[in-house]
Chain A
Amino acid sequence: DTGVSQDPRHKITKRGQNVTFRCDPISEHNRLYWYRQTLGQGPEFLTYFQNEAQLEKSRLLSDRFSAERPKGSFSTLEIQRTEQGDSAMYLCASSSGRARHNEQFFGPGTRLTVL
């Protein structure tokens, strides 16, 4: 399977703990995106990488959130000192960047529950 993969699929943590999620994009895609989706809403853009460079960050991405893509391949999203409001589905997507508009291919998501 050469689609976007995310790990873990589910994460339950206690408030105040740190969590880290991983995303493996489609191998030839140089663009990688993180989104957050809460119940009853569509995905909300968090951040975007082109290769290893983080080029855009949403104001939704507070300073407790950090994302990396060290070698331009997989990416990690870390949330420090989690809060109950961080409970959501975290989606990763990738695209090829070859054309001006590229449909993004999404992974299955990581569902985070903060108790």
Chain B
Amino acid sequence: DQQVKQNSPSLSVQEGRISILNCDYTNSMFDYFLWYKKYPAEGPTFLISISSIKDKNEDGRFTVFLNKSAKHLSLHIVPSQPGDSAVYFCAASLYNNNDMRFGAGTRLTVKP
């Protein structure tokens, strides 16, 4: 059962514009959400996270928004840069995060 879904396999944006990556989840018990970025031939690297008690977390150009009622989160990248081109995975975990569930990923391409 796929409890975390990223319905857009790819996204292309122009450099300097906003990139918005979306993620939906089905398990209302998830209490922590993370975004990972993956470059080819590398493992995923942690980008930003948010606890379920918050609805927004910001780190530089990256902001994650959480809408618990809609079971939806999004990652905003402003402004987008060509170096942001990568696959972005949304992940969710329960208390103690030993079994983290990942979405299928969205490939972001930022065009110069």
Residues from chain B with a CB closer than 8 A to the CB of A93 are: 43
**Does A63 count as interface, using CB distance less than 8 angstroms?**
no
**Does A72 count as interface, using CB distance less than 8 angstroms?**
no
The residue on A at minimum CB distance from B31 is: A101
On chain A, which size bracket covers the interface?
20 to 34
Q: Does the CB pair B96–A42 fall under 8 Å?
A: no
A-B pairs under 8 A by CB, number: 60
Please report B residues at the A interface, Cβ cutoff 8 Å: 4, 6, 9, 32, 34, 36, 41-46, 49, 51, 89, 91, 93, 95-105
25 contacts between A and B (CB under 8 A): A40-B104, A40-B105, A42-B89, A42-B103, A42-B104, A42-B105, A43-B102, A55-B98, A91-B43, A91-B44, A101-B49, A101-B51, A101-B93, A101-B97, A103-B34, A103-B46, A103-B49, A104-B46, A104-B97, A105-B45, A105-B46, A106-B36, A106-B43, A108-B42, A108-B43
